[in-house]
Each structure stands twice: as C-alpha cells, then as structure tokens.
Structure 1
Amino acid sequence: MNEDLVSIIDGSSFVVSDKSGDIDASPSVPTGMFLYDTRFLSKWHLTIDGERLNPLSVDDIQYFETRFFLVPGEPTHYVDAKISVIRQRTIGGSFNEVLTILNHKNEPAELTVRVEAASDFADLFEIKDIQHKKGKSYTRVEGNLLRLGYQRERFRRETLITSSQPAQVDEQGLTFTVRIEAHDSWHTELQVNTRVEAAGGRDIREGIRHNPDWVKATMQEKLDRWLADAPVLNCDNKQLSAAYQRSLVDLAALRYQPLGATGQTMPAAGLPWFMALFGRDSVFTSLQALPYIPELAETTLRVLSLLIGTRLDDFRDEEPGKILHEMRNGESAAFEEQPHSPYYGSADSTPLFLILLDEYERWTGNGALIRELETDARAALHWIDEYGDILGNGYIWYERRNTKNGLENQCWKDSWDGISYRDGRLPAFPRATCELQGYAYDAKRRCARLARQFWNDPALAERLEREAAELKQRFHRDFWVADGEYYAVGLDIEGNPVDSLTSNMGHLLWSGILDYEHAQKVAAHLVGPRLFSGWGIRTLAKGEGRYNPVGYHVGTVWPFDNSIIAWGLRRYGFAEEAGLIAEGMIEASKYFHGRLPEAFAGYDRTLTKYPVEYPTACSPQAWSAGTPLLLLAVMLGLQPCEEHLVVVPALPKEMGRIELLNIPGRWGRVDAFGRGQVDSSSHHHRHAHYPV
C-alpha cells in the first residue's frame, strides 16, 4: 500500500483513506470502504466551518483500529491551533468513527461540522477502468439516517449512515451545529453499516451490527486469543522477532470469511486488490502457517473442496476436479461480465490442494478430514491426468479457454509476460511450466500415502508411485537445459524448452522431483549472482531478454517464492544456501517495518543498500506474511514424523539463539531450540536434510 494511505481491515471488509482520514475515490488509488469486492463509501470528507483538516499524526493502534490527530487550516497554523480534532475509527462488521473536537480557547467555540458522504458502489474490477454503471443509484434521508443504495435487478447494495448526535441530514451528508465551551470537547459516533442483499431480499450480513465498543473489545479479544494460541518465539535477532510478530498480526487481519460461510475463515490474498478467496494463495499461506496456525489449512481445504469444479465451462475455465483460482462477489461477477464466480484459471491450485491435504494430516493427525475429502481428492488426481494434460504426454499444460477475460499465464507468474525464452520471446500456448510438473510429482507421491493409510486402496497407491517415478524420469530429459545446466522454465507446444533462467526451478527442490546431482547445480544457480540479489532470489535472472528489476514477474524478488525455495534447499541438504535466503529476507523486512511486501525490486544489494518496494505491491499480503513463519521453520528444520516433531536446526550465525515454544501438532505442544554457529561441530547439522 502507498505510504500516504492509511488502512484498517477486518478480513472481508476494509477502509483505505488519506492521512487525514478522508476518502476521495480515484481510478489510480483504491481509497474507500470495501466489502466483498464492492466499494460502499467513495467519499468521506470532514470539514469544520467549510475548511478541510490537516494531519498532525496517525496512530495505527491495531489493524482494525486507528486514530487521526488533526487541526484545521494549513501547517503555518499549527503552532496557534485553537481547535484540534481526533478521528478514532474501527472496523469489524461495520465501520465506526468517533469524532472528537477539542476547544483549546478561553471562550466558547461555535462551529459547523460537516461530514460529506457518497458511494459509487464500484466493483473492484471497475476501479482501474471506470465503467458506466448499468443499475440505478438512490439516496434517501430517513430521519437521522442517510441511506445510499444501488440496485441492478436482484443485485442490491446499501450503505447506512447514522450519528449518535442530532444532525441535519441531507443527500450529500450530515451537518452538525456545535457549541463547545472553553477548554471543553464535543463528540459524536458515526456508524456506517452495509447491506448485502441476497435473492429474496434477505440481508446476508444481518445480525452483525454492533456497538462500536463491543466490536473493538471483541476484535481485540480475538486477536489476543489468536496470538496466545500461536507458538512463542524468543530469539536474539530482534528483526526476526519483529517480523514474526508482524506476520501473526497480518495473518489475523487477512482472515477472510467467504460469503455465507459463518464462522469459517481462511487467508485472503492481500490488501487492497485481492481481499477475496484464492486457491493458490490460500494453499501456499496455509502451508507456510501449518506449524503455527493449523486451523487455516483445515478451513482452506474445506472451502476449496466445496467449490471444486464439476463441469466443463469455457467461460470460467472450469473442469471436473479442478480447484478454483479466484472467487469474487461484486457486480461484474454476479452478472457474468467477469468469470470470477468462481474462476478456475490456474493450473497449479489443483496439485497444490492435494499437497496441502497430505501435509495437513502429517502435522495434525486429522485422518477424519482425509477420509471426508477422499472423493474430491480423487477428482483432483483425475484432473491432473485428464484435463491438466492437454497434449496427452504426461505433463500439466495450460491454455485459457476464456480468451476475453481469462488469464493467459495460469501458473503463479500469471502476468502476461511472466514466461519467456531467454531471448525475451514469448512462447505459444499451451505452456507447461516446470514447477507444475514438480507439484504433480509431489501430489501423486503424497496421495499414494493417503491411499494406503486412509482410503484402503493399495492399487491406487502403487499406480500413483509408478506414475510419479515415470514423470521424474522424463521431466529431466525434457526440461534440462544442457548448455546452462539448469531446468527450463517450461516447454512450448513443440516440446522445446522455454530456456530462460528463472526462480521457478527452485520449486522443484521443494517438490523433490530432482536427483541430488542436478539439485546441486540448481542450488548453485539460485544463490549465484544472476538470480540472487543479496536480499533474495529474482524471478528472472539478470541477462535474460525480459529481465527488468522492477518488472512484476521478470526480475523482482518475491518473498513467498523465496520461502518455498528455501524450504526446497533445506530438503536437499543445502542448509547454508537456505540460511542465506532467510538472512536476506529477515534483514529486508527491517526496511518495511517488519512487514514483507508482495514483491520488491531485484536491484543488487550493493547498489541500493536497502530493498526498493515494487510500486503497486499489496501490503499486507498473505503469502508474504507467511514468509517469515516458513523461513523460521526451515532454519529450525521442523519436520513432522508420525507422532513426533523432528527438529534439526541449521541457523545462520546472525540469527543467534532461537527458541520456538508450544508448537502445535499431533504430538500436542512441543518446543524447538537452535543457535547460529560457525564452528566445525555444527557442520553435520548445517547439512542435514530431509528424505527426498
């Protein structure tokens, strides 16, 4: 998020304003109050005697609460300000603002206080590309209530604004005529409720309007409980401690409750553009958080299985057994002007779902869920072989069938130019990126275990293991770039390598599809000067045709990507290389107040001295928030093994001592300890690795 903006967030809803607390909607800056992909407030201005206010400071108390300290007039007036203003706002089911005006004079102050409000009810997809609304807007004054509304057929959204103090309400806002005695104060509570109407006129959000004090207390109680349930980190490295705490709080803020799913929360992708249900993002975040907050994984698995593909639908890129990419609840999705109701345009979410299913059981021992989701897991396995394998040669390919609204690239690098040859050319479709094959390999091996232990199907287990072994063999043959000794980012339709050097091959280490000899060469590239910036691994190597250190997927550094790669490096025994990534990421977090952004520039660390944030990066973003958690688990070498947690620490010396206490799992609660060392006695720990 832009540092000139201030946000408060409650999973499904959020408010973004300027530093004075005002909202001025514009195409380039997503300010407003948002809920389920609709902007419910596009204007929220406070004036005193017709004059806008200027900020003295902003106090971000919690992710759901903030305070703005303001004075009327220009900065030259600050020294002699006779009036000051505090706007304290919270979000949690509704948006509440307590407005306090203090009179610092020795005589009464008579003021006209005005709050102007409006809503364009813009769909989030419309904000960057303003479109003419096809429904009708309306505004009604109902006593002390201002009702802003929008209706298009059965799609109705409303914003309801009230005040605790009497106001003159008109269609543009509320006016208060105020007299404040000398050295006294005046306040009012402004409440903004939302109405999301379902078929039949029922408000889906009925029953969630609450007293602001109750909301704040409840939100604080939920956060306190969330933090208390997570493991306790004690460590020498202050930046690691700060990043850990920031990650836990950000993941609490990003807990998203799908529309109609009472009490169930899962990670939304990120603020401001992606406060929605995502397949890939939610799975990766759940994997990162498993040693800390396992309940995120359970909800993610349940919700994604409920929405698994059941038919062939070109508009949504839906296929039987396919896990969704993204689901939206705004106007354009409701009227099928966008395919996101839900949209299935990702080739990786399906094998990733199966990987999470197995990893979740390994950590929690919840075999009941594995049995409950057996039918969906089998459907997902069938999708890999039947619909994912477009060319029938044993690989997962992707090519959008919705050519108007669908994503061209359906791997995690889903920008239009995210996959290219080393000379910068773009391959034709369909495309088979390397990490997809690694995910498929891992999913089949993991599901073989589930088939034996939970589904009573040893024949399926044997078939999956055989298919995985065959995939591993042909993968090396087809994807290896001999003249560079690395794995191509993908194959083109002719079966030729798309031969750019990218971070994608780092995911192959996590999947375990490589033999050790070739894994060594991949590891050397990943921490070599072309890919490793000093802060982290670039998405595309320096010297490649499309390399751009500030290009979205063509040279930037993505924290989530680095965390998965570090996990893979550790799996193969490259603990020092994994530690190098962990050190770079934790150090980088210092420059973002402990919060790693979605992406930052791929400039060399020696060039900039600090990481440069990508200009439109989401912050907070779920899988970036999960990055310090996974890196901590990697450094400690946490690995579930039946009813025990294996701990094999391998810490960079900069990390010093680490204690992670009360780690939840099928073993109950256990502790893990580690210390960064450089003496020879720790050598065998630094190179210990998990079975591949």
Structure 2
Amino acid sequence: MKELVSILDGNTFLVSDRRGDVEPSLDFPTGLFAFDTRFLSTWLLLIDGERLHALSIDDAESHRTRYFLVPGEPTHFLDAKVSVIRSRAISGDLSEELTVLNHSGQEMSFTVRMEMASDFADIFEIKDTQRKKGHNTAAPGENSLRLTYRRDAFHRETTITSSAAAQVDRRGMTFPIMIGPHGEWTTRLTVNVVIYGARGQDVRSLLPFAGSRTTAAIEAEHAEFVARAPKLGCDCEPMAGAYRRSLTDLAALRYESIALGVRLMAAGLPWFMTLFGRDSIFTSLQVLPFVPELIPPTLTMLAGLQGHRVDDFRDEEPGKILHELRYGESAGFEEQPHSPYYGAADSTALFVILLDEYERWTGDVELVKRLEFSVRAALTWIDTYGDLLGTGYVWYQTRNPKIGLENQCWKDSWDAICYSDGRLPSFPRATCELQGYAYDAKLRGARLARLCWNDPVYADRLEREAAELKERFNRDFWLPDKEYYALALDSDGSPVDALTSNIGHLLWSGIVDDSRAQRVAEHLLGPRLFSGWGVRTLADDQGRYNPIGYHVGTVWPFDNSIIAWGLWKYGLREEAGRICESMFAASRYFFGRLPEAFAGYERDLTDYPVEYPTACSPQAWSAGTPLLLLRVMLGLEPQGEHLIIDPYVPAGMGRVELLDIPGRWGRVDALGRSRDEGPRRPD
C-alpha cells in the first residue's frame, strides 16, 4: 500500500498519496469524503503531461497540508527548472492553492492539468466496487465543473471552481500558462460538496460547525479544546509528544451528527468517521478525566437511538445500544443495515458503565436522572435478549445472517474468536469480556439506583445478580489446567480455550477472583502475549496466531490501555507500568500518534513497532490511550467529592505532573516520579 496523507475537519476528510494526488483505489478509501460519501475520486495533477514527485510534505496540522513537488523522475531533481507547491486545507469544504514556480532565467510555458472526477461511492462500496444505481453527470462551466449524482431522493453534488482562467471539460481543467524568469503562477481551486436534504437544501447548512469555516476559526477552536485539557509536564519526551498529539487528534475527530446536530467523536479515519457505540464509549472512558464535556453528547445520542423493537435486518432489540450509525447511500436505501446498526453485544453494558463513571467524576446527577429509563432498559436487555440461551450469560448471534456481523464483540473480525488449535466455535458465542462488562454494569447500575433514583430494592437485586454472575463465571470460564480464563463459551457451553488479551478486560471489570488476578497478570505480561511493545490480541503459540492478523496477533493500543487500567485496579502497579512504558516507547516511532494497531513482532526482533497495513490513523480510542495511561500511572480515582492521587511511575520515566484535572472537586494537580529517582533537589 502506498504511504498516504490525510487531512480532516470533523465531517469532511481527504486521503491522498504523498504527491497530493487521488486515484480510485480498490484497497483503501482515497478521496474527499463527507458523511460516508466520496465526493472526489480523482484529483490528479500533471505538468506537461508528467506526474510529480514529492520533495517534502508539511502535515503537522490535521486540517491542512503543503506538498513540495517537482515533475519527472527522482534522477532529474537536481536539474529541475520548475517546482510546484500544493497548499490545501479543509474547512467544511476543500481549498487548494496551486503554485507553479519557474526557477530558470527565461520565460517558460507549461500546461497544467488537473484531472477531476467523482464516483460518489458509498464507504461500503469502495472495496466492493459496486456499480452505482443512480445517475452521475458532469457539467463544465466558466472556470468551474459541477459533478452531480442522483438516485431517487438521494442527491449529492461536487462543484469545483478555479480563481484562474481554465479550459474546462467533463474530466477536469487545463491551464496553459506562461511564467516569467524566476516568476510564479497561482490558482486557487475550491471544492464545495453539497448533501441535499428532502427539501432541496444542503443539510450541512443547518449544522453550526459542519459548513465552511475559515482555517483561522478551526485553529482557534482546536486551540481552545487543547487549552481546556489539563497541562502535562514530564521528563519523558515520548509521553509529552503523545499527549500533545492525542489532544490535537481528538479535537480534529469531533463531528456533527445530521440526526441531532450535536458534536460527537468519530471513531477513526478513514473507515470509521462516524458514531460507533463501543468505540465512542471506550474513548469517552479514556478521556473523561481530561475533557469531560465530550461525554454528555455521546451518552445522550446513544440513549436517543437506543433499540426499541425487534428488527432482524438491523440486529435491533429493545434496550440495545447501537453499534454503528451511517449516512450514506447504502444505508439510506437499506442495502446495509447501518441506519443505525445494532450488531454489538457489548455496547449496552458499556453504556451503563460510562454513565456511572461520568457521574463519579463530575457529580452530574441530572444527566443520570434524565437517562434513567435508558439505563434500566439496557440492564433489562442484558438479562433478556442478551441472554440468548437462558444461562445467565450474554451471548451473541446475528439476526441477519446475510450481512450482519458474525462476531459482535470488540474483536469483530470473522476469525477473531477461536479455539487454541485454530478451530472456530459455533454460534451463539459468549465471550468472556461480555460477562465482565455485564457484571460491572450491574454493580454500577445498583449504585445509580441507590444514589440517584431512590430505588434501593432495584439496587439490591442488581448487586445480588452481579455476585451470582461472578461466582458462576469463575466456575465456568476458568481453565484449571491452563490457569487462565477461556476466551468464550461455544453454543454447547464448552470453553473456547484460546489465550487472548480479553482476560485483561476481565481485570478491568472486576469479575476476576482476587486469588487468580496475579496468574492472569503473569499470562498478560508473559512471553506468549507480551511482545515488548504491548499485549498481543492472541498468544503467539495459538493456532491462528498471525503478528499482522487484525485480531489474531496484533497489538492494539486501546486494548492495552484497558488492560493497564485493569491491572491497576487489582493493585498490580508494576505490571500496569510495564504496559504504560511500552506504549509510550512505541508512540515515538509514530510521531506521537498511536495507530489503530501494530504488528505483534517481538521488540528485540524489529527494534521498532511495525504498523498494521491498513490501520486507521488517527483513531479515537488510540488517541485516547495516552490519556488513560496517564490516569493509571498517577493513580487517579474519584472518591466522593475528592480525587485520590496514588502515583506509580515506571522506572526511567522521571517526573510526571498533570495540572488542572477537572471534576466535581473543581480542578486539582497531580505529581508522580519514577521509583528509581532520588529525592528532588531544592530549586
């Protein structure tokens, strides 16, 4: 796969190659996208019929990029008489300033050509290259090209205009130019996208942030977001870089929902620029101590779209929290069930967990009261539709066998749930972490019922059910001969015995018996699961292990942050610190931006982490990982109206100082130091 460059502003993003060009791709979604539709599928620059090559790229900011280019092959660079600068920015729409510079001492003529096209592909059509069912037209105008797609009421449009005179045809624009000695020529190309609503208006115009804005306004908004977060001072440069990068990426990943017009966090670029139940909840848990204002819109949106009926097509059930919400053509015409789709067995319990954690940090009882019905419905789902076999466990099996997700846990690829020898279990399946989430949700629901809803009877019942679930789980999922918890139960109730990172989520949920926590930690940090860069999704001696397999051997930063949190909860601070150290060490090789996943190769084999081939970057729960790891190292835990600070900083990381941590206590500071450091010298 070619190295790609992306820029984004909320709902709109562009992915190109390192020359700034966009060509139709069968394996990756390059192009200009907004709300799950590709508005540019070709954006290709030629000078005198030649492609250009990149000398350098300035992509330090998420919403704009500059490319420094020359025509011809690399061997001709030293003799280049002309160079090109492409400066582009996204602020609702796309703007690109194209500058051609003549470096010779005489006047020169050039033919500048920009190839332009839009296939208006739905995000789900990119890999499948499905034939469009609507009508696509191109209409040249004076220095402008209008590209339109219609299918019944589905209407999308791309309009491209040039500030300089252009020869316009249906496939792009041509600029015959003359440039004087050491002179330059410039044009500004503006790409406007329109998402027509039922009344013929651009629906983005109804959203406060989704339309066109100046780059200065975007930069000011991002700066304000970062400024509201706690200030980090530390001796570990990779930690400082990862923290800065995380905050800027989280600022850029915010988008507005067409449905309710609220600001939400997209899951990741390029595949997941929309609301995901699981991803949004985990990201919210990670960022809660830093930017708590992100959480109420997410909880409110998820509650508003909570399942209320049985719908086999969408895997919807009463009380169930959605998996994914899409706005594209295939969802609109019900060729995909994502309007929204409910194929996740974990998001419902996680919804309850997030609301309780949010109240513990902020004291926002009013939100808990407003969402009481949704929380009760979610807890009811766990015991009814979630318990497919009536065994007291949460199971999953899609209601839509044609296009529904087979695996409805966070490891949702087809081969992620397997026996140690590589065989795949039958459906329905009950993965171990689902039971941990259900256990935690019941305890947290009991707390909310007692504290906010004045219902001690309901609280007592939930606590009793949680205790019974913990006892039952530790009996049925523990593998005495292997001394770890099974990945899942198959449809016969037999253990699926693969050794995976899922057992770390069990520590986070609290369902692990105290007597077994140390053994679980030894597996997580042992050579089969721990690569040196982090905990692998699947142990390296298992039948399906593949260090570059999506969920069968890669290392996921988000996964590791939850595991570190779980180790911390059981008092295993040194073990949690090893994961923190490995993640921050890995982040320096990605310029501070942890990707969705990277390969599970041993640290001493590669000396640096190898990125997964099609990893999302930036991705929300990877961006949230450094924040949660900081919470773990500083031992931050709300207790009543106070914040407990109990730091354990891994050796070699020095001083970690986090100022102005927001919460129900106002704002407080936290300081930690490596255990290997001596006493602080007086200033």
TM range (shorter): over 0.9
1:123-174 CA-partner distances (Å, limit 9, x unpaired): 1111111111111101112333311011111111110111122222221112
Does 2:154 align with 1:158?
A: no
Shift of 1:104: 2.2
- In the other structure, the counterpart of 2:270 is 272
Aligned mates of 1:101, 1:19 — CA distance in 2: 18
Greater shift, 165-174 or 618-627, is seen at: 165-174
- In the other structure, the counterpart of 1:522 is 520
CA, structure 1 residues 339+214, in 2 after alignment: closer, same or farther (shift >3 Å)?
closer
- In the other structure, the counterpart of 1:314 is 312
Aligned mates of 1:84, 1:144 — CA distance in 2: 24
Shift of 1:74: 2.4
Does 2:340 align with 1:342?
A: yes
Look up the SS of the partner of 1:326 in the other structure. Answer: coil
1:405-443 CA-partner distances (Å, limit 9, x unpaired): 111110011111111112221111111111001100101
Aligned mates of 1:293, 1:7 — CA distance in 2: 25
* Mapping of residues 577-588 of structure 1, within 5 Å: 577-588=575-586
- In the other structure, the counterpart of 2:467 is 469
Does 2:493 align with 1:495?
A: yes
Counterpart of 2:53, as a letter, is N
Counterpart of 1:323, as a letter, is I
Shift of 1:207: 6.9
Aligned mates of 1:560, 1:107 — CA distance in 2: 57
Aligned mates of 1:113, 1:265 — CA distance in 2: 40
Is the CA contact (8 Å cut-off) linking 1:193 and 1:209 kept in structure 2?
Answer: no
Aligned mates of 2:402, 2:209 — CA distance in 1: 43
CA, structure 1 residues 48+231, in 2 after alignment: closer, same or farther (shift >3 Å)?
same
* Mapping of residues 231-630 of structure 1, within 5 Å: 231-262=230-261, 264-630=262-628
Aligned mates of 1:37, 1:26 — CA distance in 2: 16
**Structure 2: gaps (5+ residues):** none
Shift of 1:213: 11
- In the other structure, the counterpart of 1:677 is 675
Aligned mates of 2:587, 2:248 — CA distance in 1: 15
Aligned mates of 2:307, 2:208 — CA distance in 1: 35
Is the CA contact (8 Å cut-off) linking 1:89 and 1:95 kept in structure 2?
Answer: yes
- In the other structure, the counterpart of 2:10 is 11
Shift of 1:258: 1.7
Aligned mates of 1:91, 1:581 — CA distance in 2: 36
Does 2:97 align with 1:135?
A: no
Counterpart of 2:204, as a letter, is R
Is the CA contact (8 Å cut-off) linking 1:234 and 1:241 kept in structure 2?
Answer: yes
Counterpart of 2:617, as a letter, is S
Shift of 1:246: 1.1
Greater shift, 60-69 or 571-580, is seen at: 60-69
CA, structure 1 residues 631+147, in 2 after alignment: closer, same or farther (shift >3 Å)?
same
Greater shift, 454-463 or 201-210, is seen at: 201-210
Shift of 1:360: 0.7
CA, structure 1 residues 679+53, in 2 after alignment: closer, same or farther (shift >3 Å)?
closer
Look up the SS of the partner of 2:368 in the other structure. Answer: helix
Counterpart of 2:437, as a letter, is Y
Aligned mates of 1:214, 1:433 — CA distance in 2: 45
Aligned mates of 1:405, 1:129 — CA distance in 2: 14
Aligned mates of 2:37, 2:114 — CA distance in 1: 22
CA-based RMSD of the aligned residues comes to 1.9
Shift of 1:20: 1.3
CA, structure 1 residues 25+666, in 2 after alignment: closer, same or farther (shift >3 Å)?
same
Shift of 1:19: 1.4
Greater shift, 540-549 or 84-93, is seen at: 540-549
Look up the SS of the partner of 2:387 in the other structure. Answer: coil
Normalised TM-score (structure 1): 0.95
- In the other structure, the counterpart of 1:689 is none
Aligned mates of 2:433, 2:607 — CA distance in 1: 32
Is the CA contact (8 Å cut-off) linking 2:319 and 2:381 kept in structure 1?
Answer: yes
- In the other structure, the counterpart of 1:112 is 111
Look up the SS of the partner of 1:239 in the other structure. Answer: helix
1:48-77 CA-partner distances (Å, limit 9, x unpaired): 233322221111130100001112222233
Is the CA contact (8 Å cut-off) linking 2:654 and 2:677 kept in structure 1?
Answer: no
Aligned mates of 2:211, 2:356 — CA distance in 1: 42
Aligned mates of 1:208, 1:70 — CA distance in 2: 37
Aligned mates of 2:22, 2:388 — CA distance in 1: 48
Aligned mates of 1:666, 1:510 — CA distance in 2: 23
Look up the SS of the partner of 1:150 in the other structure. Answer: strand
Shift of 1:519: 1.2
Normalised TM-score (structure 2): 0.97
Shift of 1:679: 8.2
Is the CA contact (8 Å cut-off) linking 1:90 and 1:212 kept in structure 2?
Answer: no
Counterpart of 2:568, as a letter, is R
Aligned mates of 1:210, 1:365 — CA distance in 2: 29
Look up the SS of the partner of 1:24 in the other structure. Answer: coil
**Structure 1: gaps (5+ residues):** 683-692
1:332-352 CA-partner distances (Å, limit 9, x unpaired): 111111111111000000000
- In the other structure, the counterpart of 1:686 is none
Shift of 1:105: 2.6
Counterpart of 2:109, as a letter, is E
- In the other structure, the counterpart of 1:688 is none
Is the CA contact (8 Å cut-off) linking 2:253 and 2:265 kept in structure 1?
Answer: yes
1:5-54 CA-partner distances (Å, limit 9, x unpaired): 11111122111111111111121132111111111001111222333222
Identity across the alignment (%): 64
Counterpart of 1:557, as a letter, is V
Shift of 1:86: 0.9
